[in-house]
Amino acid sequence: MFKLGLTGSIGMGKSTTARLFKEEGCDIWDADAAVHRLYAKGGRAVAAMSAAFPEAVVEGSVSRERLKTLLSRDPAALTRIEKIVHPLVAEDRAEFLAQSVADIVVFDIPLLFEKGGEKHLDAVACVSVGPEIQRKRVLERGTMTEDQFRHILSKQMPDAEKRAKADFVIITDTLEHARAQVHTIVEQIKDRETHA
């Protein structure tokens, strides 16, 4: 089983690209979806988060909005949150991997390089697009302001650095272009695995 990381900065087309890998028969583990599961009612992170940050838990689930407010007041709380959440995310990922029967499992992780996650994978694909398209995509979602977008970008490794560290770069300027690149990557990996 080949473990492929999928990463890229905000607005680069990572979610769409993950769906393209799924179309190629890959299994997809999504880090953000894992956190949502952990924070949902009955999720594994709820009790520990409730003990550490009672104000962040609403009706039995962790409120991401309340966490944002808490972090804006106390940025140091992020380390405590990560100590609770990261081991649970790793557990979720290990369980997913154990159940997968796909030849290629894609790990969709936004901050893959920032957190050193590439060490546990066989290769990394990075999605990328020009800064104008990136900005337009993010602001068209209508979920954040220009300032919020710039703040998120400032916390992410620059695109050029991610591309340099990646084994594969997928340019997501059009869906068809991205689809063709994903297909080529899957074929290359299968070919490599067959001759390994």
User: CATH code for 1-26+104-196?
Assistant: 3.40.50.300
> With 0-12 CB in 10 A as exposed, 13-18 as middle and 19+ as buried, what is 60?
exposed
111-165 pLDDT, tens per residue? 999 989 999 999 999 999 999 999 999 999 988 899 989 988 888 899 999 999 9
Neighbours of 196 (CB within 10 A): 6
Per-domain residue ranges for the chain?
A: 1-26+104-196, 32-101
26-56 pLDDT, tens per residue? 999 999 999 999 999 999 999 999 999 999 9
pTM comes to 0.90
Cβ 106 vs Cβ 8: under 8 Å? no
> With 0-12 CB in 10 A as exposed, 13-18 as middle and 19+ as buried, what is 16?
middle
